[in-house]
Amino acid sequence: MRSVDALLAGLVDYAGLFPPASEDMRPALESYASYFESEDREALGRFIVPISRLKELEEAGSDLMPRRSGSDPWRLSVLVAADVRAAADEMVKFNRRHSQESKDGHAVIDVAELKASTADEIRHQRRDLPPGLTAYFEIPITPDVSPLVKTIAQVGARAKVRTGGVTPEAFPAAEAVIDFIAVCRREAVPFKATAGLHHPVRGEYRLTYESGSRTGLMYGFLNVFVAAALLYVGESEDTALSALQESDASAFTFADDAIQWRDKRVGLEQILASRSEFAISFGSCSFREPVEELADLTRTARSTVQ
């Protein structure tokens, strides 16, 4: 269905190097290469790698990167945690080495992800990045995120929210998540989410892949991106909060031209606009899990959208 395709397009940034998967570099790159060529590739976003492991990526994956003339490059998002100027120089050099004409494989770093807790940190770090690079700033979820989001808007960057982790305590309150998204909407700041979004619908799930793992109440990525779309089209924060907290999968129905949560309908054009301009992607250490679970959900759901 076109509505589901619009929701999924470039939605999942693959973070296989990170917990709970914590794959080694070569297996993670092999997985990304297989997803890149699969029938689900339209849902695949960027490969996420720390700047400290960029050289390791080159050494482990140069034979996996696209080489055919005119082929699409791998797109990478690099996590920058320390010297931003040095990281910027390294990323520029990487892009030169892996340009379309390179024999070492075609890849491009076009996104950098950073952390900042003050407006000054945001300004200084953005200034040190190459101007053509898209920057996401992960900011703390505080009672008032407005000042930091406003600064992100001023420097022409994007925001990032952490929606979970491998412990129950890592999951922020639903009200805090909606407040973050609502402020981003008011300030016209695109955002991405990360962590704890392996499943489409909110529920109690295992927090890691280890045998005997603890369970916890996890947000669903469908909840997050439908809630964001509702805010994008002008619905209230209370409505978005209820959508984020929805745990009944049957409350979501799907048609070719819309996705509906209970009595709230988001049309195809609204989904396309929200995804391209506002709610951009989420990072996940699994690609297959979220994509296949959503496919199962849409196959079994009986659409009531007219």
Q: How far is residue 11's CA from residue 35's CA, in Å, rounded to a whole number?
A: 13
* Number of domains, the chain: 1
Domain presence at residue 306: no
Q: What range defines the domain where residue 172 resides? A: 2-298
CATH at 287: 3.20.20
Domain presence at residue 303: no
Say yes or no to pLDDT of 67 above 70.
yes
Averaged pLDDT, 107-116: 97
Q: Model's pTM, two decimal places? A: 0.95
Domain presence at residue 304: no
Place of tokens 């040190």: 128
Tens of pLDDT along 55-65? 999 999 989 99
From the list 123, 49, 61, 147, the residue with the least C-alpha distance to 90 is 49
Say yes or no to pLDDT of 101 above 90.
no
Q: What is the pLDDT of residue 303?
A: 42
Domain presence at residue 258: yes
Q: What is the pLDDT of residue 304?
A: 43
Domain presence at residue 12: yes
pLDDT tier at 193 (50, 70, 90 boundaries)?
very high
Domain presence at residue 233: yes
Averaged pLDDT, 219-236: 98
Mean pLDDT of the chain: 95
Domain presence at residue 68: yes
Q: What is the pLDDT of residue 306?
A: 43
Domain presence at residue 264: yes
pLDDT tier at 302 (50, 70, 90 boundaries)?
low
